Structures are given as C-alpha cells and as structure tokens.
Amino acid sequence: MGAVFMSGCCGNQEAAPAPKIEPKAVAPMSQADQMRQKAKVAEAASLIGYDGKAIKRDLDKIIDQHEQSAKQLEDLNNL
C-alpha cells in the first residue's frame, strides 16, 4: 500500500490577526439567581429515577421564600 503525504506550499505567509472579541459587561447575578442556576442541576435527577422537574420546582419555591424573607428583613432594618 502506498501512502500519500501532502504538505503545504504556502511559504512564509503570516496568518491574519484574529478579530478581538471584547467581553460583554454582565451585571453580577444576585444570590437568588445563582441558586436558581444551581437548582437547574436538580432536573438531572430524572436520569436516576427521581422527578427532577418536581425537585427543581420545590427548590425554586424555597429560593423565592428565602428571597422574600431577605427582603422583609432588609425592609425592617431600614425602619
């Protein structure tokens, strides 16, 4: 069997510079939003026989209650 080798014949060509991509300014996520992102992982529990959507829904309720409690506490501190 024969093998075919191909080599480039481009010589000393310089590669075009890659366009600069500036990162977008993203507002930091609140603690509740961070917890919701982590709660999305709970849906993977469906893979092992649990109801992942129900677990995520329950976690979202808990996060909402936590957020309401934190807001009420903050309002009391502002009095």
The residue whose two tokens read 């976690």 is 59
Q: How far is CA 14 from the centre of its chain?
A: 37
pLDDT in tens, 33-78: 888 888 888 888 888 888 988 998 999 999 999 999 999 999 998 8
Contact 52, 43 (CB under 8 A): yes
Domain boundaries, the chain: 31-77
- pTM for the complete prediction? 0.56
Helix, strand, coil fractions of the chain, as percent rounded to 5:
55, 0, 45
Contact 67, 32 (CB under 8 A): yes
Q: How far apart are CA 5 and CA 70, in angstroms?
A: 68
